[in-house]
Amino acid sequence: MQSLDAELEDARRLAIDDLADAIESIGFECTRCGACCTGEAEDDHTATVFPDEVRDLEESDEYDGDYDWRDIARPMPYGLSENEAGDLEGETFEWALQTDDCGDCTFYEEDDSGTGACTAHGDRPLICQTYPFSVALSGTSQPMGEAVDEAGVVRAHECEGLGRDISRDDAEDLARALKERAVRELEEAIAVRDEYEPASPAPGEVVVHDSEGPKRIDGTPLEE
Torsion, Cα 2 215 45 107, to 10 degrees, reads -120
Number of domains in the chain: 1
Closest to 105 measured CA to CA, from 35, 181, 156, 177 = 35
Answer yes or no: are the C-beta atoms of 89 and 80 closer than 8 Å: yes
Closest to 51 measured CA to CA, from 224, 214, 223 = 214
In a domain, 159, yes or no: yes
In a domain, 31, yes or no: yes
In a domain, 41, yes or no: yes
The reported pLDDT for the residue numbered 113 is 79
Q: What are 25-39's pLDDT values in tens digits?
A: 999 999 988 889 988
Q: Does the reported pTM lie above 0.95?
A: no
Q: Does residue 140 register a pLDDT over 80?
A: no
Closest to 93 measured CA to CA, from 71, 72, 77 = 77
Q: Does residue 192 register a pLDDT over 80?
A: yes
pLDDT class of 40 with cuts at 50, 70, 90: confident
In a domain, 223, yes or no: no
Cα distances from 133 to residues 9, 35, 89, 155, 163, in angstroms, run 20, 14, 32, 6, 12
Q: Which one has a higher pLDDT value, 159 or 137?
A: 159
In a domain, 126, yes or no: yes
The Cα 77–Cα 69 span in angstroms is 16
Closest to 48 measured CA to CA, from 125, 108, 113 = 125
Cα distances from 19 to residues 8, 22, 33, in angstroms, run 16, 5, 25
In a domain, 220, yes or no: no
Q: What are 89-129's pLDDT values in tens digits?
A: 999 999 999 999 889 999 999 888 777 889 888 899 999 99
In a domain, 22, yes or no: yes
Mean pLDDT over residues 177-186, rounded? Answer: 96
| Total Cβ atoms within 10 A of residue 3 | 11
Which of 54-63, 110-119, 163-172, 189-198 reaches the highest mean pLDDT?
163-172
Q: Does residue 70 register a pLDDT over 60?
A: yes
Q: What is the mean pLDDT of the chain?
A: 90
Q: Print burial letters for 198-223: b (CB count within 10 Å at least 16), e (below 16).
A: ebebeeebbbbbbbebbbbbebeeee
In a domain, 221, yes or no: no
Mean pLDDT over residues 49-75, rounded? Answer: 89
H or E segment and range at residue 155: strand 154-157
Residue 70 structural domain: 4-215
